[in-house]
Amino acid sequence: MVSFFRLILVFLVIGCSNNILGQSENEMVLVTGGSFIPLYGTDSATVVVRDFKMDIYPVTNNDYLEFVKKYPKWKKSKIIRLFSEESYLVKWEDDVTLGINFLPISPVTNVSWFSAKSYCECQGKRLPTVDEWEYAAMADEKLPDARILPEYNQKILTWYEAPKTFENPIGSTFKNYWGIYDLHGLVWEWTLDFNSVLISGESRKDVDKDTNLFCGSAAVGASDLMNYAAFMRYALRGSIKANYTGRNLGFRCVKDVEVLE
């Protein structure tokens, strides 16, 4: 039997697959795959990430404005409540007008997982997985994995304490090793499987692949108990639902890299 959640996902992609919005591939960069031990992992839980492309910047207010114009079902006055809280795009003046203090090139926020997922699919892209996002975000300006540097972790924590960074324009932070901006220091970002560090007795028995977007492995053997910045990210992901929105929660898209056989 087709699950209710799967029916929701089918609804989300209707009207997008044959009507791709045009964004330049130049706005994405290649992240070369590899393996790493995530926060919740141990030496025997190494994660392998394949090559993928990631947006250089988070999706902006202007980007999202063009999206809702093309797909009116995602306008703030028309979105189905099942797919978003009432705070969806709450600071926009109306369906097609940004708030008076909103910069077009600031990251869009107050969007749900459902709407972010649909936006990426209408671009011919998708949301990044938790592992892809964490893999790209390990990098500082010079190293693909800067987690061994105490000062890097502290720098990220300092950003978390800064007020209203979500109002800043994209590109406000550093360009990392992969050529990506703003993975830290601007907004929190949705991932495809944002609750993948949660597990319960019931979810172990669930064989519905859609449910795996929300339930996966457990955070019971953290690889680095001093990595507070990563703990904060995992804690946030574990506390939200797919229809949740937040004034400092945005997103960016990724794209699979074709493998030539």
Instruction: Outline where DSSP puts E strands in 98-248.
Output: 188-189
- Model pTM score: 0.81
Residue ranges making up the domain that contains 106? 27-256
For residue 226, give the CATH number of its domain: 3.90.1580.10
pLDDT band for position 46 (50/70/90)? Answer: confident
Q: Is the pLDDT of residue 10 over 70?
A: no
- Nearest CA to 244 out of 190, 164, 208, 200 is that of 190
- Nearest CA to 118 out of 186, 21, 34 is that of 21
Domain-embedded: residue 9: no
- What pLDDT digit, counting tens, does each position of 177-207 carry? 999 999 998 999 999 998 775 543 333 334 4
Domain-embedded: residue 8: no
Domain-embedded: residue 233: yes
pLDDT at res. 205: 39
Residues in the chain, total: 261
Q: Is the pLDDT of residue 230 over 80?
A: no
b/e sequence 156-176, b meaning 16+ C-beta within 10 Å: beeeeeeeebbbbebebbeeb
- What pLDDT digit, counting tens, does each position of 203-225 carry? 333 444 443 443 333 333 444 54
Domain-embedded: residue 37: yes
- For residues 41 and 77, the model is more confident at 77
Domain-embedded: residue 118: yes
Domain-embedded: residue 82: yes
Collapsing DSSP to helix, strand or coil, 126 comes out as strand
- Give the lowest-confidence range in 23-32, 37-46, 55-64: 37-46
- Measured distance CA(213)–CA(19) in Å, rounded: 25
- Nearest CA to 237 out of 197, 178, 183, 185 is that of 197
Q: Is the pLDDT of residue 144 over 70?
A: yes
- What pLDDT digit, counting tens, does each position of 71-120 carry? 999 999 999 999 999 999 999 999 999 988 789 999 999 999 999 999 99
- Domain count along the chain: 1
Domain-embedded: residue 207: yes
Domain-embedded: residue 13: no
